[in-house]
Amino acid sequence: MTIQAIVEELGLEALVAADLAREVRGGYCSDLLSDVLAHAKAGDLWITHQRHLNVVAVAKLRELSGVICVRGLAPGPDVISRAADEKINLLLTSEDAFEVAGRLHRLLHP
């Protein structure tokens, strides 16, 4: 399933729509950067409360398909511009991590 389809199905706000045609392999929920580096897989959508610049670096390093910021915790303009530079899809939802992870899981594993 593409990011575009997930954005529409889950009603996400695309803060950075770098590559909405990108296929999503799965999801990973974590607020620990090194944990994501160690265990997320390329193509995963990363669900997190973190919203600082290093989030973009980690998403890039692990070749994630995008980042979902939860509970309306929008990153600042510096993060948005870095994500755009690095071509990382950056998405925002007002839902909490549990809700959005559950809905994403149902979409990817119907």
Considering only the stretches 5-13, 19-27, 44-52, 93-101, report the one whose residues sit in contact with other proteins under the rule CB under 8 A: 44-52
Least Cβ distance, residue 6 to other proteins (angstroms): 23
What's the CA gap between 20 and 12, in Å, rounded?
12
What's the CA gap between 13 and 16, in Å, rounded?
9
Contact between 110 and other proteins by CB under 8 A: the answer reads: no
Paired strand residues for 48: 69
Considering only the stretches 9-17, 47-55, 88-96, 99-107, report the one whose residues sit in contact with other proteins under the rule CB under 8 A: 47-55
Contact between 60 and other proteins by CB under 8 A: the answer reads: yes
Interface residue with other proteins among 23, 41, 72, 98 (CB under 8 A) is: 41
Contact between 52 and other proteins by CB under 8 A: the answer reads: yes
Question: What are the start-end ranges of the H helices in 62-96?
Answer: 77-85
Paired strand residues for 92: 13, 69
| Nearest CA among 110, 32, 52, 58 for reference residue 44 | 58
The amino acid at 24: V
Which residues inside 64-93 make contact with other proteins, applying CB under 8 A?
Answer: 78
**Contact positions vs other proteins (CB under 8 A):** 31-35, 37-39, 41-42, 48, 50, 52-58, 60-63, 78
